[in-house]
Amino acid sequence: MNNRIQNQSDIVLSLENITRIYSQGNNQINVLNNINLDMKRGEIISLVGNSGSGKSSLLHIAGLLEKPNSGEIYINDVKCSKMTDFGRTISRRMSVGFIYQFHHLLSDFSATDNVAIPMRLSGYDKTYSKNKAAELLNNLGLGDRINHLPSQLSGGEQQRVSICRALANNPDILLADEPTGNLDSKTAEIVFDQFISLAREKNTGVLLATHNLKLSERSDRVIKIIDGKLIEN
């Protein structure tokens, strides 16, 4: 083990006093009200709460896709609030895998390319990236869909491509927004099993928003968002 790894703290993601307010005309929606959350390496945390409670907002802030109104985000102990946009992009690319609630696949590229492109952007060569993409897709039952465009895939298949894309760069943190929303219960279990092995074998911290209470019970911690606050079960 090298010094850098030995010196890493247990906490891979830390949200400190985060507040997120959306303004709509004269109305203000206080979606996250001074919340705090620490996630350890290898930990799986489920984020639950009613539709509109702020799950996606919290994940977008944790993944540096949106800025909070106030508060601080630490990824691998690095303070993120003062980063430039470029710094945020690099930090995201190096450390975070994000599974969007609405997939956001690149429509002109095949399933393989959608998964391989983040690897290419991180400097992996073409052959390695394509092979790894095919392996990830195969693991989620898409071995015979690797050359399909997103428009030629079902909603659940697109969701699985988006999961593979998030896993491609072996992220320290996986943020997953309703990752099993479009999946039948058997496929949802397979996806969740994959999250568990990522956490246990690769020490990835997994934070997922879900309405699936049966799956959330398999995580290490369940946190509910109620009225802008985090309540731990």
Ligand X SMILES: Nc1ncnc2c1ncn2[C@@H]1O[C@H](COP(=O)(O)OP(=O)(O)OP(=O)(O)O)[C@@H](O)[C@H]1O
Binding test (CB under 6 A) with ligand X, winner from 28, 29, 70, 231 = 29
51 binds, among ligand X, Mg ion, none (CB under 5 to 8 A by kind): ligand X
> Could you tell me the CA-to-CA distances from 223 to 189, 217, 230 in Å, in that order?
20, 11, 6
Segment near Mg ion (CB under 5 A); pick from 11-19, 73-81, 93-101, 195-203: 93-101
| Residues contacting residue 32 through CB under 8 Å, at least 6 positions apart | 18, 19, 20, 54, 57, 58, 61, 68, 225, 228
Compare residues 7 and 51 and give the one whose CB is closer to ligand X: 51
CB 91 within 8 A of CB 75: yes
Q: Determine if 165 is a binding residue for ligand X (CB under 6 A).
A: no
Which residues, 48 to 107, sit near ligand X by CB under 6 A? 49, 51-57, 101
What are the structure tokens assigned to 66, written together?
A: 């949106």
Which residues, 25 to 84, sit near Mg ion by CB under 5 A? 55-56
First to last CA, the chain: 35
Nearest alpha-carbon partner for 208 in 101, 120, 113: 101
Segment near ligand X (CB under 6 A); pick from 23-31, 67-75, 123-131, 139-147: 23-31
Applying CB under 5 A, the residues found at the interface with Mg ion are 55-56, 101
Binding site for ligand X (CB under 6 A): 22, 24, 29, 31, 49, 51-57, 101
